[in-house]
Amino acid sequence: MASPFDLLVLGAGSGGLAAAKRAAFYGAKVAIVEGDRVGGTCVIRGCVPKKLLVYGSGFRHSLSDAASYGWDVGPARCDASVLLANVAAEVDRLDQLHRDLLAKAGVTLIRGWGRFVGAHTVEVTSGAAGAVEAELEGAEPHGSSQQLVGERILIAVGGRPKRPAIPGAELGWVSDDLFLQRQLPSTVVIVGAGFIACEFACILNGLGVAVTQLVRGDHLLRGFDRELSAAVQEAMQAEGIEIRFAHSPAAISGEPGALTLTTQSGEQLDCGAVILATGRRPFLAGLDLEAAGVAIEGHRIPVNPDQVTNVPHIYAVGDVTDRINLTPVAVDEGRAFADTVYGNKPRRVNHQLVASAVFSDPELASVGLSEEEAIERYGEEAIRIHRARFRPLAQALPKRGPRVLLKLVVETSSDKVLGCHMVGDHAAEIIQMAAIAIGMGATKADFDRTMALHPTVAEEFVTMPD
């Protein structure tokens, strides 16, 4: 058996990579275990390839608007197979880049799937099927294996999409599957109302796919400001996406490429593919956490503010803890762990103020409290709302597209800005900078004192009347 590592990291996603490289920078002997490509959900099957598809689908609007600016581009069509192949190639490049960065940082990459066989010991199985795949398939792990010992162990294995418990669910795609396709069907049914469902609905619609979206409740994007989610919904429907509220799937039948989704009301929808965007869950399968004595709470690993599980030398970061499942949060958690344990720079992650974005069409971004959250916390009489809604200058000549929406939620007594929200092009880029001001406790007067950059959309945040 090899000599013990100071740190064993399970999972080479955003949180695990950040923790491993920073711990190695501080001089720790680090190994990271990964049975898939390196980069995790964000790089391989999430944020990065999704955003590339967003860019690709967005050219439909750019090309159609060109004529109003004097450009004759002629008829245009998208060959989705080229876009999908180019995105896959970029993912491959990033996988290799992250491998190289690990090597440069002095982190040992162990290929395979890890499972606990003791409080300090992890068995890594490589080959045709590791421990994780074997458990999912109901078989025994096979392939070559080795045992690694770590003084400390960090669990950063992330999450996986979950399928609804309906007949034929295995015929549907989850979000991961879209990035494996080489062609797109002509019709798709998307099940879900969250950001993944809405983003894919807009991407596929932009690439020429007819999209029907089934929503169990009565509105999209639960957890976001209702006025913003309504603005996104209005724009999606205007672009031809059919959204059916109070609809849930009961079964999927047929064959790949020719499916029928039956709703709980008995309606049958024929389509080329069904995308099940029905949530994600921490990926605990195959870890054998009980062998190390690590406690589970529901489907997640609970940790304290220093990322420590109930076992003092075992830590967890990222989606496996199911707190705020965003890449930058996982990265900061991983770095905070390394700073605290190996860098003699103890710090904790602030989970109270985290900006978020939905890369739908139009884009939505928020930081701080929504109107509903502010009312619940302070009372309706204690807050005031400032908003601006208008057609942006970029659409003055094409004369199309939804109006942008900018919104400030302000506490009346202190004038403090509690929330800053936007729906429109480049919303995430704008809210990223607004998040600095909100984090510093800016007031509406601070916004008002800021000189506007004209003509821009963002200037409306500093020119809204009282």
Q: pLDDT value at position 130?
A: 43
Structure tokens at 44: 């391989």
CA distances from 355 to 100, 146, 203, 376, 422 (A): 30, 41, 22, 20, 12
- Record the pTM: 0.94
Q: pLDDT value at position 2?
A: 54
The answer to whether the bond into 455 is cis (omega within 30° of 0) is: yes
Closest CA to 460 of 404, 382, 406, 380: 406
Q: pLDDT value at position 127?
A: 67
Q: Which amino acid is at 413?
A: S
- The rounded radius of gyration (Å) of the Cα atoms in the chain is 24
> In 3-state terms, what secondary structure has residue 182?
coil
Cα gap 244→232, rounded to integer Å: 15
Are 217 and 246 in contact by the 8 Å Cβ rule? The answer is yes
Terminal-to-terminal C-alpha distance of the chain: 69
Structure tokens at 357: 């974005």
Cα gap 119→84, rounded to integer Å: 43
Closest CA to 294 of 308, 306, 280: 308
Active-site residue, selected from the candidate residues 247, 299, 313, 454: 454
**Annotated catalytic residue 454:** yes
pLDDT tens for residues 285-318?
999 999 999 999 999 999 999 999 999 999 999 9
- Contact partners, residue 223, CB within 8 Å, separation at least 6: none
> In 3-state terms, what secondary structure has residue 261?
strand
pLDDT tens per residue across all 466 residues of the chain: 456 999 999 999 999 999 999 999 999 999 999 999 999 999 999 999 999 999 999 999 999 999 999 999 988 899 999 999 999 999 999 999 999 999 999 999 999 999 999 999 999 998 644 444 444 444 455 568 999 999 999 999 999 999 999 999 999 999 999 999 999 999 999 999 999 999 999 999 999 999 999 999 999 999 999 999 999 999 999 999 999 999 999 999 999 999 999 999 999 999 999 999 999 999 999 999 999 999 999 999 999 999 999 999 999 999 999 999 999 999 999 999 999 999 999 999 999 999 999 999 999 999 999 999 999 999 999 999 999 999 999 999 999 889 999 999 999 999 999 999 999 999 999 999 999 999 999 999 999 999 999 999 999 999 998 8
Share of the chain above pLDDT 90, in %: 93
Structural domains of the chain ordered from first start = 5-45+82-160+281-341 (3.50.50.60), 169-278 (3.50.50.60), 362-462 (3.30.390.30)
